[in-house]
Each structure stands twice: as C-alpha cells, then as structure tokens.
Amino acid sequence: MPVAGLGSRSLAWLIDAFIKSLALTALAVVLELLGEVGGGLLLISMFALFWLYNVLFEVLYHGATPGKRVLGLRVLNANGTPVGWRGSMIRNLIRFVDAFPGTYAVGCVAVLLNENFQRLGDSAAGTVVVYDVRQESRSAIEGAEPVELRTVLSLDEQQAIVSFGVRANRLNSQRAEELASLLEPVIANVDSSRLAGHASWLMSGRSSS
Amino acid sequence: MNQGAFESQNASTWRAYDDWIRVLSGKRTGPDAQGVSLKELATEFPAAYRKICHHLALARARRYSLELENRLNQMALEGHQHLYRSRPQLFGSILRFFSVSFPAAFRREWRCLLISALAFYGPGLAMGLAVQIQPELAFSVVDAQSIAQIETMYDPANSALGRERQSDTDVYMFGFYIYNNISIGFQTFAGGLVFGLGTLFYLCFNGLYIGTVASHLTSIEYSHTFWSFVSGHSAFELTGIVIFGGAGLMMGYAAIAPGSRSRWHAIRDRAVEGLPLVVGGTLMLVAAAFVEAFWSSTTWPSASIKYAVGGVLWLSVGLYFWLFGRHES
C-alpha cells in the first residue's frame, strides 16, 4: 500500500484540528450555562480531545480520524494489520515530541528522513499511515478490439503497453496520443486506439490469433 | 496462460473469497454471503487466503495487468488483516490489569522507576533544604508573583482557608487537575523518546518546583495548612509522576542502549512494555485529581484526620505495589 506523505497528512491534521475546535467551541457555549461545573467539564473535554480523539478514532473507526478519512488515509501496523490500542496509544502519546516546538517541526523532519514517512511516534509504535486505495474502475481495455502485435517485445515492454491500455480512457486524448507516439520507432503508425488494441491483444487475444 | 484465461479460470475462487471477506467485515450483504457458515469459514478461509497469495505472485511474475495485480493485492491484504489482526485486549481484562499487570510491571521495572524517583525527589529534597538555609533561593525557581499567589492560598489567617470552596469550584478544580496533571504525565513519558532527556527534564523541574513551594510555605509557618492539604492526594500524585517518568526512562534507555535489536525495534518493545505503567499512572493521577478536588480542599476535618487519611493512602499504595500480582508474575 502506498504510504502517505507530508502534504496529505498535514491536511488531515488541519481538518481534525478544525473539527476539534468546532467541538470545543460548541461545548464551551453549552457548558457556559453550568458555571464553574461547566468549566471543569470543559477542561476534561479538552483533555479528552487532545489525547483521546486520535486513539479512539484510529482503533474503533477503521484506523482513521475523520480528517484522515476525508483524505483517504489510514493508520496500519507496519506489517499491514489494523492498528490496535497499543500502537495507537504509543503513536499518539509520542505526538507530543513530534509536535515540538508547537509547529510539528520535529515530526516533519522525521517524516522527510524516513523511507516510510513515519514520524517519531510511528517509528516508536511500529505504525504507518497509508492511502486506503480501492480501485473500482474497470479496465478500459475491454472495449478495444484486439489488434495483433508483430513486434517481439520483452515482458517489461509488454506490461507497459498493457498499463497504457488500462489507463487510456482516464487520460485526455492529447496526452494519450503523445504517450502512444513515443512508440513510433518501435511500432509503425501507432496511435492511442491502436495501442489500446495491442494491449487488449496482449492481455486476452493472443492465444486465439 | 494469458490473463483472460487466468481470470476466467479463477473467477469463482475469487468470488467465494470476496464473500468470505464480506462476512468477516460484518457486511453480510453480498448476494451469496448468507450461505457461508462459520465452520466453513474457519476451515477453508486460510487455504483460500494462501491461494490468493499464490495468484498474486503468479500475476506479478507473469506481468499481468497492474489492475489485476492491484485487485489481487487488495484481496490478499484484506485477508491478511482478518487473519493476523491483534484482537483488542485492553478493555477485556481490566481486572487482570489492576490485580496483576500493573503492579507486576511496577516491580519488574524497578530500576527505571528508582532512577525516576531519584530524579524527581532528589532535586526536590535538595531544593527544599537549600530554601530552609537560604530562603531567598525560593525566588530563583518560582517567580515572586506565583509565590504570592500560593501564599494567599495557604494563609492560615485567611478565615476560609483559601481552599474552602463552593462545590461548583471543586468540579472545576477536578477538571483542571485532570487536564493539567495528566498532560504533564503524558509529556513526561513521551519525552523519554529523546534518550530520556525530556523525561529527566520534567522530573527535575517538577521536583524542584514542588520542593521549593513546600519548603517555602513551611518556613513561613504555613506548614499546617499546606501539609494537611497535600497529604491526601500526594500518595497518588507523586507516585503517578514517578511511574510516568519510569515508563519514559524505559524508552530512553532503549534508545541509548538498544542491545542486539535495532534502535527503533528496541524502543518499540520497551514502549509496549511500559504501556501498563502509562495506563496505571493515568488512573493514579485521575484518583489524585479526585482526592485533591473533593477531599483535600475540605476544611471540616481536622488536620490530624487529614494526615491520618494521607498516611493510610500512602500505606495502601505501598502495599498494593508490593503484594499484588506476586504469585502470577
């Protein structure tokens, strides 16, 4: 699974911070009515939002706080299993060190230096933040009529053509033509629809022709 | 075998597997999911998982389309997550935590806790002695304004004793102690990651501060109001701070001397071993906040009753960590 970088994680953090401040403001307005008791409850809520918000969401809500959910991120153990209480507690307690000195400077440097983009809390807990990808779109290749390819190509080259066929209808037409034209030296008179046909032939039609 | 044939040959296997995943995820909405029995699931799912992994490896080796590879990867990942996930255990064994894990961890990690206690009480006692000899030293640790504020709180001449409050205020102070003290506890633990330095800083700083205030109030004859106030919650609060410090130092020591493991691996292992102390320390600080807000602040009991309660609580905390969970650890 692709690990998530600084940008999307910062955005997720911003969304969470926004949600937390909204919740706190709403609580403050309501608890204001209760006087000193309300003040005490507000402080307890602040404590809970600071320290428990992430842990509870990560453990009970598919490894994602609402901010991470919006950006399609998810916290996993480094071995790919869902994060549990231990991992989540450690990574969110160490958050205090990553947030130092109030701007997440330590955490940002740690993320940039780590091959899996783990901040210190992630490294200590053995967790990673990944994109929760689910490819639903069906291949564009199926629409293309198989076109026999008479050039001998290596497996890597064949796979590149198949990948092109899969992605072709998600590209705009100029870009598709531009990519296809790169193959002009190898395949004569190539264009994007013909290349998609080759891709279709490579994937399914080869044995029949 | 080309990709098309591979897909059509295995389509039924993959569909059955997807149904199992749906059942495991609690989404029994698939068209065929109703027919899946749990027994069938338990006996056949692992084999199906291995088959998917095999198909994934084949798809990679044969350079089938990325899309198919991704799909199989996704299927393998979901199966992996269901087979190998660790079941949440924290809430399932609260009783065991109190009767065994927490006190056992306390005894097992006595070295780190001892260093933590020394780093906390050492500077506190030293500063307390220093202030007795040279009272002005108090102002080098705590600024004059804070000292004046603390003095008004414990002034025996104050008819309401400064601490007799409306019960509303008790709840407010409870919230404040929870928020303030436990946050400091968590920071003391987290700071241990930086080779233990952050933990030592918090321990020394808080030790110095508490020692200074206690010594200053004693030397200006406010000792009765001060000591009777703190005696109730001190057992939970001071021990709680030392416990957080010990858990932080466990991580710190792993960072300095990881032994035969990689540094992060050692830190991870020690952090996990220290978690019972963090959870237990948190609960002790919650108890301290409760006692401090609702008992320590009351004025109706005489000072001797408060000292007696404080003594009993210290004794209980000591006996708890000494005796509990012995036979099982």
Structure ipTM = 0.70
Q: Work out the minimum CA distance from A7 to partner chain B, whole angstroms.
A: 24
What is residue B302's three-state secondary structure?
Answer: coil
Residue with more model confidence, A184 or B262? B262
pLDDT computed for residue B269 by the predictor:
92
Of A84, A94, A207, the CB nearest to B86: A84
DSSP letter assigned to residue A188: T
pLDDT computed for residue A171 by the predictor:
79
Q: Do B85 and A82 touch (CB under 8 A)?
A: yes
What is the chain A residue with the closest CA to B8? A204
Paired tokens of B94? 């609260």
Which percentage of chain A shows pLDDT scores above 90? 22
What is chain A's length?
Answer: 209
Tell me the average confidence (pLDDT) per consecutive run of 10 residues in chain B, 329 residues long.
84 86 69 59 83 91 82 88 71 75 91 95 93 87 85 70 58 86 92 93 94 89 84 92 95 92 92 91 92 82 86 93 77
Convert the pLDDT of each residue in B212-221 to its tens digit.
Answer: 999 998 888 8
A40 to chain B: which residues are within 8 Å by CB?
Answer: 171-176
Convert the pLDDT of each residue in A85-124 to its tens digit.
Answer: 889 999 999 998 888 787 888 888 888 998 889 999 999 9
pLDDT computed for residue B110 by the predictor:
93
Q: Do A166 and B65 touch (CB under 8 A)?
A: yes
- Mean of pLDDT over chain A: 83
Of B70, B81, B168, the CB nearest to A35: B168
Of B66, B88, B90, the CB nearest to A166: B66
Report the range out of A11-25, A170-184, A186-200 with the highest average pLDDT.
Answer: A11-25
Measured distance CA(B15)–CA(B20) in Å, rounded: 9
Q: Work out the minimum CA distance from A52 to partner chain B, whole angstroms.
A: 11
Scanning the structure block, which residue is given the tokens 């400064």? B162
Q: What share of chain B is helix, strand, coil (3-state, %, to 5)?
A: 80, 0, 20
Convert the pLDDT of each residue in A38-86 to its tens digit.
Answer: 888 888 888 888 888 999 999 888 889 999 999 889 999 988 888 888 8
Separation in Å, CA B275 to CA A85, A166, B68, B185, B255: 10, 48, 42, 13, 17
What is the chain A residue with the closest CA to B170? A37
B64 to chain A: which residues are within 8 Å by CB?
Answer: 162, 203
Q: Work out the minimum CA distance from B132 to partner chain A, whole angstroms.
A: 36
pLDDT over threshold 70, residue A141: no
Nearest to B63 by CA among B6, B11, B25: B6
Buried b / exposed e over B13-47, threshold 16 CB at 10 Å, is ebebbbbbbbbbeeeeebeeeeebeeeebeeebee
Measured distance CA(B244)–CA(B249) in Å, rounded: 9
Q: Do B190 and A95 touch (CB under 8 A)?
A: yes
A–B CB contacts, 8 A cutoff, strictly below: 136
Q: Do A44 and B178 touch (CB under 8 A)?
A: yes
Non-local CB neighbours of B229 within 8 Å, separated by 6+ positions: B154, B163, B296, B297, B306
Paired tokens of B153? 């709180």
The mean per-residue pLDDT over the stretch A132-138 comes to: 60
B26 to chain A: which residues are within 8 Å by CB?
Answer: none
What is the chain A residue with the closest CA to B181? A47
pLDDT computed for residue A208 by the predictor:
44
Query: Which amino acid appears at position B93 of this protein?
Result: S
What is residue B93's three-state secondary structure?
Answer: coil
pLDDT computed for residue A209 by the predictor:
38
Q: Within a 13 Å sphere around the CA of B237, how many CA atoms are in the beta-carbon half?
A: 23
Q: Do B85 and A94 touch (CB under 8 A)?
A: no
Convert the pLDDT of each residue in B205-257 to its tens digit.
Answer: 999 999 999 999 888 888 888 888 888 899 999 999 999 999 999 999 999 99
What kind and span of H or E run contains A127? strand A127-131
Q: Work out the minimum CA distance from B61 to partner chain A, whole angstroms.
A: 10
